[in-house]
Amino acid sequence: MGVGNTTVLVLVVITALAFDFTNGFHDTGNAMATSIATKALDPRVAVALSGLLNLVGAFLSLAVAATIANGLVDTNVVTLQVVAAGLAGGIIWNLLTWLFGIPSSSSHALIGGVIGATIAAAGGSAVKWHGLISKVIIPAGLSPIIAALVATTGTWLLYRISRGLTQAARGHGFRIGQIGSACMVSLAHGTNDAQKTMGVITLALIANGTLHAGAQAPFWVILSCALAISLGTYVGGWRVIRTLGKGLVEIESPQGMAAESASAAVILLSSGVGYSLSTTHVATGSIIGTGLGKRGAEVRWNVAGRMATAWCFTRARRGLSSRESTLCPGST
Amino acid sequence: MSWINLTALWKIVVYGMIAGAGLPALFAVGLRALALPGGARVQTAGADSDQLVGGNVLGMIIAAICFLTILAALGWGIYEIYQLGHPAPVKK
């Protein structure tokens, strides 16, 4: 291994950790938006708690990291430069969408980037299409729908069961419940999103020959990713919180609890089987679901439509721009 | 090889419903039981009160069972995810 490779490797690791940080930064909103919107939690407490639970979640499961490191691209042909190029655009996309307050998917940005860079460098045959479709694309498409379904059912049940309570008591009770459900979302976020960076760093280590193909993420990778995402979460992004918490549907605390429980359950279960999905899309699906589950509540479909458009473009654009950076001769 | 793992999908939908909608519903049952009015307690709660405890002993016991069941289910679920996510290392 030459000195050049070591330099690139160090750069990739630092870039990946920075990506992880922006991911936490970007996604605080998903976990805590509804709690903050319904005033179940003080924003400061919510953000600190979310950071801590992301840290714990990152250690909880390694299945998604294994999917990214070994299941998506042919590790024999992927080089460090490819991983570096894939990463580079992901951060920019994350920062741009954050700046405009669009809750787009940072995970799909990352995966799209790595896939795009791989295709540019080694051709389509280097991509494990089966793994990509069955473990990323199909779960990505279905998870928000499942989350919406669960949240609709949950919301309907919660209002039905709590009918006998006074309005104020119901609000009070479910605000307490929301603290628990929001914590589960943060935990779930760590099990899915922190894993993606672990997977990419592991992929870089495999590409460099430091690890053998099929290896699991080493402990220092797990620890540093966990720290990066929780730190990013703590520093927090308020813009997305506003869009998600207030823009889409008017939320009451039973709806908040139903949405969060649905998100947490879908993300945790998917992490368990190694599906890499967008926590952002799941959270949005759940929030739409709670709007559908409560009689008289309205979903602002135009806001939802704008989000959906941004999502569709995420992967395509990410693939393209990392393709450009791979093709650019100056980029190593 | 199939492109879609129906077994996993089915599990995510069913367990997702149980955990994502069932557990919050159980929480709602607990809240409802907790709020049952008790005979020993003077009824002071008005229509706009946010008081959660009604004072009915049986209600409180049911509520406690509900809340503990939720905690146990969460603990068990997290343990299962941990087990799934830490497979024995693959031999080279």
Q: Mean pLDDT of residues grouped by 10 in chain A (332 residues)? A: 72 88 74 71 80 90 88 85 83 74 73 86 86 88 94 94 88 89 90 89 89 86 91 69 53 87 94 86 87 71 59 49 40 29
Q: Where are the alpha helices (DSSP H) in B4-88?
A: 6-17, 23-34, 57-85
Cβ contact, residue pair A138, B24, below 8 Å: no
Domain that holds residue B30: 6-38+51-85
Domain-embedded: residue B57: yes
Domain-embedded: residue A305: yes
ipTM score: 0.86
Domain-embedded: residue B43: no
Number of domains in chain B: 1
Domain-embedded: residue B91: no
Domain-embedded: residue B46: no
Cβ contact, residue pair A272, B51, below 8 Å: no
Domain that holds residue A111: 3-320
* B23/A116: higher pLDDT: B23
* Burial group, residue B69, by CB count within 10 angstroms (0-12, 13-18, 19+): middle
- Cα–Cα distances in angstroms (integers) from residue A93 to residues A38, A100, A229, A238, B52, in the given order: 30, 11, 17, 17, 46
Give the number of C-alpha atoms closer than 13 A to the C-alpha of residue A224, restricted to the C-beta side: 18
Number of domains in chain A: 1
Is 80 exceeded by the pLDDT of residue B65? yes
Cβ contact, residue pair A133, B77, below 8 Å: no
Domain-embedded: residue A163: yes
Domain-embedded: residue B73: yes
| DSSP classification of residue A73 | B
Nearest chain B residue to A185 by CA distance is B20
Domain-embedded: residue A261: yes
Domain-embedded: residue A326: no
Query: Do A170 and B32 form a contact (C-beta atoms < 8 A)?
Result: no
Q: Given pLDDT bands bounded at 50, 70 and 90, which one contains residue B20? A: very high
Contacts of B8 in chain A (CB under 8 A): 273, 275
Domain-embedded: residue A332: no
CA angle A8, A11, A14 (to 5 degrees): 150
pLDDT at position A221: 93
Cβ contact, residue pair A266, B23, below 8 Å: no
Contacts of B3 in chain A (CB under 8 A): 130, 133-134, 138
Domain-embedded: residue B90: no
pTM for the structure as a whole: 0.83
* B48/B11: higher pLDDT: B11
CA distance B28 to chain A (A): 6
A312 touches chain B (CB under 8 A): no
Query: Do A192 and A273 form a contact (C-beta atoms < 8 A)?
Result: no
